[in-house]
């Protein structure tokens, strides 16, 4: 009996030792990771023109929350947030572009769904923005609720979850509607503000962007109170490349964790002196986190220094520092009543 117990303990010891060795080993290199490293630049799919999320500014420089996530991955990979090339994609083209390898990652206000995760060979990496589908209408229609939209013509973009949500909602309310479908967002927005449709439906953030940045007079339009869906928006990568999935996921998580611990682009160098063990791990003062991803231990430091934390990105792109002026709402940190929650870096 003693011999059996001794043998069992020996096996357990070997398993434990093996587990420690595995935990200490760096991630195995993946095809996308290697390709991006060799190319020296990240190819990132973004929206064609959605202010606050991904759109070129007056100088032709891409700006927005989704753009910042692309830059964060470049900062993690290269220590240089500028090493990214943006591919503007329509709703219909975005998923195919990722599947085919035209882009390395998609960061384009795309809803995380079962079909996209399990059926078409893509992996979501986290949520950058919690949203929901709403309706934008001219004030002159004097409509107070989406339940008053029976018989309306509705501008909607093709190749999105918006079409299905729209049909489901009107069917549930036993109302008729006439869809006016567009492939390109710019064409849809122009058509709506030209009066071709009674209603513009999309994610509420997209409606707010259109009203603030493209309406002839924003005060002439109102977003109705009903939110008819859950739209967790976030980046996607291809199935089958775990290391690349980890790099993209943890680049986003680093931005979220940095905000939680009060680390900003302005104070990150001072925070290197912090005694908080969480901060020390995030910033690479305590080594090992970068090695697990196949990156330098300063990967998260570089993201925060060069791009900023999630709160900084939110405020300058869609928050109080922008024309959209969207409240944080669900996108506040979990400790402040929101849903924003990153896995711990440890």
**Which of 130, 133, 113 lies closest to 122 in space, CA to CA?**
113
User: With 50 as the cut, is the pLDDT of residue 232 above it?
Assistant: yes
Contacts by 30-39, CB closer than 8 A, 24 or more apart? 30/241, 30/242, 30/243, 30/244, 31/241, 31/244, 32/104, 32/237, 32/238, 32/241, 32/244, 33/241, 33/243, 33/244, 33/247, 33/294, 35/104, 36/77, 36/104, 36/244, 37/77
Q: What is the pLDDT of residue 5?
A: 40
Q: Tens digit of pLDDT for each residue in 243-265? A: 999 999 999 999 999 999 999 99
Where are the chain's structural domains?
Answer: 31-130+233-336, 133-229
Q: What is the pLDDT of residue 159?
A: 82
> What's the CA gap between 171 and 164, in Å, rounded?
11
User: With 50 as the cut, is the pLDDT of residue 187 above it?
Assistant: yes
Q: What percent of the chain has pLDDT over 70?
A: 92
User: With 90 as the cut, is the pLDDT of residue 9 above it?
Assistant: no
Asked whether the domain spanning 133-229 has the same topology as the one spanning 31-130+233-336, the reply is yes
User: With 60 as the cut, is the pLDDT of residue 147 above it?
Assistant: yes
Tell me if 113 sits within 8 A of 124, measured CB to CB: no
Q: What is the pLDDT of residue 2?
A: 40
Residue 19 burial class via C-beta count within 10 angstroms: exposed 0-12, middle 13-18, buried 19 and up: exposed
Q: Tens digit of pLDDT for each residue in 17-40? A: 333 333 333 344 479 999 999 999
> What's the CA gap between 200 and 181, in Å, rounded?
11
> What's the CA gap between 49 and 53, in Å, rounded?
8
Q: What is the pLDDT of residue 200?
A: 98
User: With 60 as the cut, is the pLDDT of residue 10 above it?
Assistant: no
Q: What is the pLDDT of residue 212?
A: 95
User: With 60 as the cut, is the pLDDT of residue 15 above it?
Assistant: no
Q: Tens digit of pLDDT for each residue in 194-218? A: 999 999 999 999 999 999 999 999 9
Q: What is the pLDDT of residue 24?
A: 36
User: With 60 as the cut, is the pLDDT of residue 189 above it?
Assistant: yes
Q: Which two tokens stand for residue 312?
A: 């900084």
User: With 50 as the cut, is the pLDDT of residue 1 above it?
Assistant: no
User: With 50 as the cut, is the pLDDT of residue 236 above it?
Assistant: yes
Q: What is the pLDDT of residue 7?
A: 40
> What's the CA gap between 70 and 64, in Å, rounded?
10
Residues 122, 128, 132, 133: what is their CA dihedral angle, to the nearest 10 degrees?
A: -60
Q: What is the pLDDT of residue 11?
A: 38
Q: What is the pLDDT of residue 30?
A: 76
> What's the CA gap between 125 and 113, in Å, rounded?
12
User: Three-state DSSP class for 221?
Assistant: strand
Tell me if 304 sits within 8 A of 73, measured CB to CB: no
Q: What is the CB neighbour count within 10 angstroms for residue 316?
A: 17
Entry field: residues in the chain? 346
Q: Which two tokens stand for residue 46?
A: 């973004």
For residue 299, the number of C-alpha atoms closer than 13 Å in the C-beta half-sphere is 26
> What's the CA gap between 58 and 43, in Å, rounded?
22
> What's the CA gap between 66 and 47, in Å, rounded?
9
User: With 60 as the cut, is the pLDDT of residue 131 above it?
Assistant: yes
CATH number of 133-229: 3.40.190.10
> What's the CA gap between 16 and 22, in Å, rounded?
10
The domain made up of 31-130+233-336 has a fold known as D-Maltodextrin-Binding Protein; domain 2 (3.40.190)
Q: What's the whole-model pTM score?
A: 0.88
**22 against 323, higher pLDDT:** 323
Q: Which residues are CB-neighbours of 150 under 8 A, at least 6 positions away?
A: 170, 173, 175, 176, 177
The partner residues of 200 in beta bridges, in order of sequence, read: 136, 155
Instruction: Name the strands in the sheet holding 236-238, side by side, starting at the edge strand that comes first in the sequence.
Output: 84-89, 42-47, 105-106, 236-238, 122-124
> What's the CA gap between 190 and 71, in Å, rounded?
29
- Which residue in this structure is represented by tokens 């513009």? 200
Q: Tens digit of pLDDT for each residue in 297-316? A: 999 999 999 999 999 999 99
């Amino acid at each position: 009996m003693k011999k059996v117990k001794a043998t069992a303990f020996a096996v357990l010891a070997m398993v434990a030792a093996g587990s420690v060795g595995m935990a200490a080993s760096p991630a195995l290199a993946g095809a996308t990771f290697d390709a991006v490293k060799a190319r020296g630049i990240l190819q990132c799919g973004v929206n064609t023109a959605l202010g606050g999320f991904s759109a070129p500014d007056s100088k032709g420089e891409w700006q927005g929350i989704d753009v910042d996530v692309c830059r964060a991955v470049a900062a993690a990979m290269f220590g240089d947030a500028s090493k990214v090339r943006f591919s503007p994609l329509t709703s219909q083209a975005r998923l195919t572009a990722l599947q085919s390898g035209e882009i390395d990652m998609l960061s384009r206000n795309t809803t995380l769904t079962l079909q996209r995760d399990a059926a078409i060979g893509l992996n979501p990496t986290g949520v950058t923005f919690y949203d929901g589908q709403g309706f934008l209408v001219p004030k002159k229609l004097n409509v107070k609720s989406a339940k008053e939209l029976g018989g309306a013509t509705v501008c909607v973009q093709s190749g999105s979850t918006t079409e299905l949500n729209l049909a489901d909602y009107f069917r549930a309310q036993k109302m008729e509607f006439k869809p006016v479908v567009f492939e390109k967002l710019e064409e849809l927005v122009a058509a709506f503000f030209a009066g071709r449709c009674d209603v513009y439906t999309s994610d509420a953030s997209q409606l707010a962007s259109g009203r603030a940045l493209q309406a002839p007079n924003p005060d002439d339009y109102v977003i109705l109170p009903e939110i008819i869906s859950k739209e967790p928006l976030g980046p996607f990568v291809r199935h089958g490349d775990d290391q690349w999935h980890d790099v993209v996921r943890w680049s986003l998580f680093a931005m979220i964790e940095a905000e939680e611990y009060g680390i900003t682009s302005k104070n990150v160098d001072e925070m290197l002196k912090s005694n908080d063990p969480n901060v020390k791990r995030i910033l690479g003062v305590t080594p090992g986190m970068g090695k697990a991803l196949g990156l330098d231990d300063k990967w998260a430091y570089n993201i925060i220094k060069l791009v900023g934390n999630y709160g900084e990105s939110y405020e300058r792109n869609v928050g109080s520092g922008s024309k959209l002026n969207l409240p944080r709402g669900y996108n506040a940190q979990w400790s402040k009543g929101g849903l924003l929650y990153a896995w711990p870096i440890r």
